[in-house]
Structure 1
């Protein structure tokens, strides 16, 4: 039977994600619209995003943190284009975005000394193969596979190379070991539910040294330039953005940070995300038609929670046919207004992707689960009728 209870907020898409509980446009009334972002008051608001993010995440005092254009993608591209090439690099890939960084390094930057360590969706590469004498490029959490690295123990403390970590769906939901991470990026549109457009870049002192002592062989677009005259442009890390930011998005980011502080800071955010994973884990354990895409419990994401359909009637179909099943299932949920945008990523195996970041209430996640069973039963019965 069709469930009775519905999620209060049916927003389970993986980006842009659900706004914080209780969010309204009234929270943006202080936005400095119609003002220059270079005015001291506006710059102070931009820098406040940096400083409150730094404090919330527990970033070391000697790390730089700045705002860059074009979301996490722009921030990570800037890091790759300005710092890679100084030494050999290990590229780790186990889903779409990691594969995108491989493409950039190999086909765009055309780096000479590259090793690619890859794995299929649901798996991780052998992290023990990463060479500390080389740079390493990886996602902390595979947003399109729901597979995260379990910890940072595989990263050598005495490494010579730099670690480049795309943490866009991990920051604010997972405890990142900053001493292991030299270059880290994320966006505003993930765990804190901010508006898209802006990315953040955190640099260790070793990363700053690389920027000031290494000059890439290729030309750099203006929005990637982090140094001038061989020195770091310190203003970028004090609110002086390279290009014009949206002051409305800045105010929204501050709203999200204020909420995060109210719910217990980083540990409160992690608890909220893990509660969503726990709810789905308990349901999966009792549900025969579905399973996690991530092979091992330690690698299951608490934000981009990816599921595969293992019911034999569906699993035996071609990937194209499975995709149609998922489209029909998610269409039913959207029609009922109980879940939007939860189909797996377009490059991933057919399945579901449910966002469990901190802005999603666990009670809404729990309310969604019976609807998943209902929608699958509806689609499954139609498959049976067609087969008959």
Structure 2
């Protein structure tokens, strides 16, 4: 029979992700709207975004946080174009975004000494093969595969190269070993449910040292330039953005950060996401027609949770369409480059009760499309 209880919030998209519980756009502090981002009030809001990010994440001394253009993609490209080229580079890819970084390193930067470390969807490359005499580029959580790095034990403390980590669907949802990460990027529209178009770039001291001691051989667009006369432009990491940001998006991000603080900080946000995954793990254990795309339980993402189904691709599409039509779950189809299946976002802004309410509908949709 068709279930009667629907999720209160049917938004399970993996980006832009669900707004926080109780979100109301009318509650945003809009004092910055219509003001220059370089005004006192504008710089204060942007500076607060950087400072509160660092505080809530518990970043080590010397780590800098900046707001940069073009979402997580812009932040990763900014890092790669500014930092790579001094050393050989290893690029790890096991899903579409890592594949994109590898393509850019090979075909845009055209670096000569590149080692790809690759795996199919559902798997991780052999992490022990990463050579940290080289620079290493990798995603922490494969947003389109549901496969995450289980820990940072494979990254040596005495590395000579830089660890450059795209962590857009991991920050504020997973434990990150900051001292092992020299560059971390993320975007507001993932775990925090913020608005798009802006990226966050976190630089550790080793990355700053590279920026101040190495000049890449290619021209850098203005929006990528982080140094002047061989010194880091510190203003970028105090809210003095390179280009004009949306102050409405900044207000939205500050609202999300305040919510993280209100619920108990980083550990509470991680706990909410893990609780959501636990509900799905129990469901998978009880039903033989659905399984995690991730093969190793230690690598199952607790944000972008990806599933394979005992069903033909057309049946899976029919399920997704049916659940959308019923107003039960929006945007849960697998990423276009991934194997056919479902992808259910379970980051901190998603309520566990909504995940629980979704599950009977999954079974119903599976049976209805048989």
In the alignment, does 2:138 pair up with 1:138?
yes
Q: Residue 259 of structure 1 aligns with which residue?
A: 259
- 1:102 Cα deviation after fit: 0.1
Q: Is the 8 A contact 1:31 1:248 kept in 2?
A: no
Q: Residue 108 of structure 2 aligns with which residue?
A: 108
- Which segments of 5 or more consecutive residues in structure 2 lack a partner in the other structure? none
Give the distance between the partners of 2:114 and 2:62, measured in 1 at CA: 30
* TM-align CA RMSD: 0.7
- 1:31 Cα deviation after fit: 4.2
Give the distance between the partners of 2:279 and 2:253, measured in 1 at CA: 28
SS of structure 2 residue aligned to 1:272: helix
1:183-209 Cα offsets, whole Å, 9 max, x none, are 100000000100001100111111001
- 1:5 Cα deviation after fit: 0.8
Give the distance between the partners of 2:193 and 2:317, measured in 1 at CA: 25
Q: Is the 8 A contact 1:43 1:239 kept in 2?
A: yes
Q: TM-score if structure 2 supplies the norm length? A: 0.99
Q: Residue 188 of structure 2 aligns with which residue?
A: 188
In the alignment, does 2:348 pair up with 1:358?
yes
SS of structure 1 residue aligned to 2:156: coil
Give the distance between the partners of 2:136 and 2:29, measured in 1 at CA: 43
Q: Residue 373 of structure 1 aligns with which residue?
A: 363
Give the distance between the partners of 1:164 and 1:67, measured in 2 at CA: 17
- Which segments of 5 or more consecutive residues in structure 1 lack a partner in the other structure? 381-388
Q: Residue 386 of structure 1 aligns with which residue?
A: none
In the alignment, does 2:322 pair up with 1:332?
yes
Q: In the TM superposition, what are the counterparts of 1:40-55 in structure 2 within 5 Å?
A: 40-55=40-55
Give the distance between the partners of 1:113 and 1:107, measured in 2 at CA: 13
Q: In the TM superposition, what are the counterparts of 1:83-232 in structure 2 within 5 Å?
A: 83-232=83-232
Give the distance between the partners of 1:132 and 1:359, measured in 2 at CA: 35
SS of structure 2 residue aligned to 1:195: coil
SS of structure 1 residue aligned to 2:97: helix
- 1:30 Cα deviation after fit: 2.8
Q: TM-score if structure 1 supplies the norm length? A: 0.94
Q: In the TM superposition, what are the counterparts of 1:280-359 in structure 2 within 5 Å?
A: 280-309=280-309, 311=310, 314=311, 317=312, 322=313, 324-359=314-349
SS of structure 2 residue aligned to 1:237: helix
- 1:326 Cα deviation after fit: 2.0
SS of structure 2 residue aligned to 1:191: coil
1:120-153 Cα offsets, whole Å, 9 max, x none, are 0000000000112111000000000000000000
Give the distance between the partners of 1:264 and 1:252, measured in 2 at CA: 19
1:213-270 Cα offsets, whole Å, 9 max, x none, are 1111111111101111111111000000000000000000000000001111000000
SS of structure 2 residue aligned to 1:215: coil
1:330-383 Cα offsets, whole Å, 9 max, x none, are 110011001000000000000000000000000100100110110011111xxx
1:27-47 Cα offsets, whole Å, 9 max, x none, are 224341110000011100111
Give the distance between the partners of 1:173 and 1:66, measured in 2 at CA: 20
Q: Residue 385 of structure 1 aligns with which residue?
A: none
Give the distance between the partners of 2:29 and 2:321, measured in 1 at CA: 36
1:261-286 Cα offsets, whole Å, 9 max, x none, are 11110000000000110000000000
Give the distance between the partners of 1:219 and 1:74, measured in 2 at CA: 16
Give the distance between the partners of 1:62 and 1:367, measured in 2 at CA: 44
Runs of 4+ in 1 over 3 A off after TM superposition: none
Q: Residue 24 of structure 1 aligns with which residue?
A: 24
Instruction: Report the count of equivalent residues.
Output: 370
Give the distance between the partners of 1:281 and 1:27, measured in 2 at CA: 36
